[in-house]
Chain A
Amino acid sequence: MPTANRSANCSNNPSHRQRQVLSLLTFPSPVCQFLWRKEGAKVRMAILALCLFVSAFGHTQSEAPVPTRLLVLDKTFNLPILWLPDEPYAPVGDWLTALKIRWVAQGSGLALKLPYQTAFLWTTTSAKVIVNGREMEVAPLLRRGEDWWLPLVSLARLLRLLAVVNPEKRMVKLAALLQSVAVKQVALGWQVSLTFSYRLPTPPKVGTLREPDRVYADFVGAALQDITLPSLPDGSPLSKMRLGQFSNEPLILRFVAETTSPLQISVVGSEIGDEGDERWHLLLFSSEQREQWLGQIRLQENISTRAIFRFWGRFEEKPTVRYEGTTLSILLPSAPLLPLDNASFTDEGLVREARVEGQGTAARLVVTLLKPAQAHWEKREQGVELVIETPFVRPRRVRLIVVDAGHGGKDPGAMSPSQPSLLEKHLTLDIAFRLKRLLEQGGYQVLLTRTDDTYLPLPDRVAIANNAGADAFVSIHLNAFPQPGGQWGTEVYYWTLQSLPLAESIYRHLLTLLGRKGNGIRQRQLYVIRHTFMPSVLVEPCYLNHPEEEALLRQEWFRERIALAIFWGIAEFFGDLPTLQKQGE
């Protein structure tokens, strides 16, 4: 492992200074003769005392830590470093997390756990450690008081990092080394793969430049070494490739490819080797290409209240998320090109299990959670992120009600038998708008799942409510019976027990205001009320294919009453009805 710029600094070398003082005292020289003369004894004793003080002080200084800048991949730390003759030592601390290393004291040493490798023991007494069955020579650890000190050059050798040690500038850098570059043609375009000796802290940043046309990728925390670039395959749109150390602080390695025509560049994902090396795949494809593709899914954060999945690829629209209790099912545009990266998986995290199932357009990511949580999408420079959070992480002062107008677009719902026909989809939207107005006047925030005559799949309606973190969900429908006129009256449906009080209050107000027959509050596994997390109900105020109720539905005042009854039910459920009634007075 190369250790560049390393140079000895005599002024800080205690043994050197001690030898100088010793030579003054023991060996005959003009200086010694001056010291041993009788004249001016006091002056001589003062000089001798000064020499002894300098010697002792110098010794103490050499053993004391010196403030030093330590660059670990993409992070910079200002640490006291022990500059010992063999190599610099850093105190064990937070800087190790930049390398994703965990540690615990064990007897006369430390047990260190490297990412993707088993733990190993590093002691203060032995000059050898065994990592993955291989014996490696290292400098022993140091123990001073309660603190442990790690030899940085040995650590770099263990991790296959580049260590740049500069004692004069008081600086140490630890960087991942670029090991190889490969190019190959794939179905979507051209794939460039760069392998690094250690996992990089962040994904590469990619972009395009013009005149001449070129694409680039910046790898933070990486350092360049002499490697041979592969020859460009025949028919490749790449005319030239080059590598450079774009920045030394922070360390950034830049890959540039000149192209014969304008190309796009995108990150596909990364793979981790057995030795902890990381291979990043980049996709270069035509600027005119509009095909959707999915490179890789990475679980990049996973704590008890929050998890983040990163999706690399090209998406026309954000994938649909479906909820089934503590299981999320994310419908993917295609099967990912690379395997799922589960590196951040921990037993304590919100995500208990994640796997990709199915092929092609039937592919989906199935995520098992520790507890029910809400998911929402966030756009990123490349691809998207799915952020999963446990409910009520984001406090809200105003309650949010999601109002779902049933059916829409190509799905008309029920139809009245009399002419001109009434369509359920139009009536539900009319009632939803009325309810929105009433709720907003009452101080609620309202989100409609649809605001015009469009078709919206049921999972999307659920996703709107769950992603918005709604406080209540009301789905508005109008009933129909197989035999027109065979049934009439009011029904309200719920699924979870937390929804029952909401169903009861809305049902009660519907019966009071509409005066129709009460068919009851029914517990049913209907999709929209089963998959929403918040109190949620589906209301069927009356039957569209019952002559009397159809006539009522044609009246505006009746539809207003339906909206008013639902509004009062919601307000009562939240305990706001007395306040609203006082305001009304």
Chain B
Amino acid sequence: MRWNWWLLAVTLGALAVAVVLAVYALRIPARTPTQPPATFRSWQVTLCYPDLKASRLVRFSLTIAATSEERVVEELVGRLKAPETPDLSPALPSETRLLSVRREGNVLVLDLNDAFVNPEFWQGSDVAHLRLQALVHTLCSLPNTHAIRLLVNGQVPEALGGHEEVSEPIQPDPTL
């Protein structure tokens, strides 16, 4: 009988230790030794949209907290597709997806999906120009970015809507 009490006490003790260890393990986040902790950084950018009359660019200052430049570009592409106010025109077709981003010196290279070249979106010389320049002005507000090179599925696309040549890196139009 006395032996049974001893067995019960040991079992309860082991259980208590297991519970303590489990709680401790849950409270400490898992870390992979090879991956440094992701740190957020603040990025000051200027977000640009064409106005509804397609006569000028409207600018907004914006701070984005992100872990990398790629994440910032993703965020900007998302915002350019859908302006927050109805008096602005989108700078990118709504189905556009960013496939990848890389740098070639001061040139930011964006690889986008097919939806980007939707001809209906790029109709009208001035509308097409303002929309493309909204994208270029926005991305060129990133540090050390002087021009944007655009690819579609890794290939150089033809002129957007027959108006905007994009085979070379595009710089901001200073008149806008």
A-side residues, CB < 8 A to B, are 322, 324, 329, 406-407, 411-415, 457-459, 477, 479-482, 486-487, 491, 493, 522-527, 538, 540, 545
Question: Which among A413, A486, A526 is the interface contact of B123 at CB below 8 angstroms?
Answer: A413
- Does B53 lie within 8 Å of A329, measured CB to CB? no
Complex alpha-carbon distance, A487 and B127, angstroms: 11
Most chain A C-beta atoms within 10 Å of own C-beta, residue among B53, B158, B167, B175: B167
Is the CB of B84 closer than 8 A to any CB of chain A? no
Is the CB of B75 closer than 8 A to any CB of chain A? no
Complex alpha-carbon distance, A322 and B165, angstroms: 11
State which residues 128-176 of B face A: CB under 8 Å: 129, 158-159, 161-165, 167-168, 173, 175
Question: Which among B119, B121, B124, B159 is the interface contact of A457 at CB below 8 angstroms?
Answer: B159
Q: Chain B contacts of A526 at CB under 8 A?
A: 125, 129, 163-164
Known: A491-B126, A493-B126. A525 touches B119 (CB 8 A): no
Complex alpha-carbon distance, A459 and B89, angstroms: 28
Q: Chain B contacts of A545 at CB under 8 A?
A: 123
Question: Which among A481, A493, A525 is the interface contact of B54 at CB below 8 angstroms?
Answer: A481
Complex alpha-carbon distance, A259 and B174, angstroms: 62
- Does A480 lie within 8 Å of B126, measured CB to CB? no
Q: Chain B contacts of A525 at CB under 8 A?
A: 129, 173, 175
- Does B119 lie within 8 Å of A411, measured CB to CB? yes
B-side residues, CB < 8 A to A, are 52-54, 89, 119, 121, 123-127, 129, 158-159, 161-165, 167-168, 173, 175
- Does A481 lie within 8 Å of B127, measured CB to CB? yes
Known: A523-B175, A524-B175, A525-B173. A538 touches B125 (CB 8 A): yes
A-B contact pairs, 9 of them (CB 8 A): A477-B163, A479-B124, A480-B123, A482-B123, A525-B173, A526-B163, A527-B159, A527-B164, A545-B123
Minimal beta-carbon separation of B9 from chain A (angstroms): 77
- Does B53 lie within 8 Å of A487, measured CB to CB? yes
Main secondary structure of the interface of B (DSSP, over half): loop
- Does A479 lie within 8 Å of B125, measured CB to CB? yes
- Does B162 lie within 8 Å of A540, measured CB to CB? no
- Does B173 lie within 8 Å of A524, measured CB to CB? yes
Question: Knowing that A414-B124, A527-B159 are A-B contacts, what are 10 other residue pairs whose CB atoms are under 8 Å apart, sorted by A's residue number?
Answer: A407-B162, A411-B119, A413-B161, A415-B123, A479-B124, A480-B127, A481-B54, A482-B124, A527-B165, A540-B126
User: Which residue of chain A has the shortest Cβ distance to B130 in the bound complex?
Assistant: A524
User: Which residue of chain A has the shortest Cβ distance to B171 in the bound complex?
Assistant: A525
- Does A524 lie within 8 Å of B129, measured CB to CB? yes
- Does B161 lie within 8 Å of A482, measured CB to CB? no
Q: Chain A contacts of B119 at CB under 8 A?
A: 411-412
User: Which residue of chain A has the shortest Cβ distance to B163 in the bound complex?
Assistant: A526
- Does B161 lie within 8 Å of A487, measured CB to CB? no
Complex alpha-carbon distance, A526 and B126, angstroms: 9
Complex alpha-carbon distance, A487 and B159, angstroms: 24
Complex alpha-carbon distance, A233 and B164, angstroms: 53
Known: A525-B129, A526-B129. A481 touches B164 (CB 8 A): no
Complex alpha-carbon distance, A411 and B121, angstroms: 13
- Does B159 lie within 8 Å of A329, measured CB to CB? no
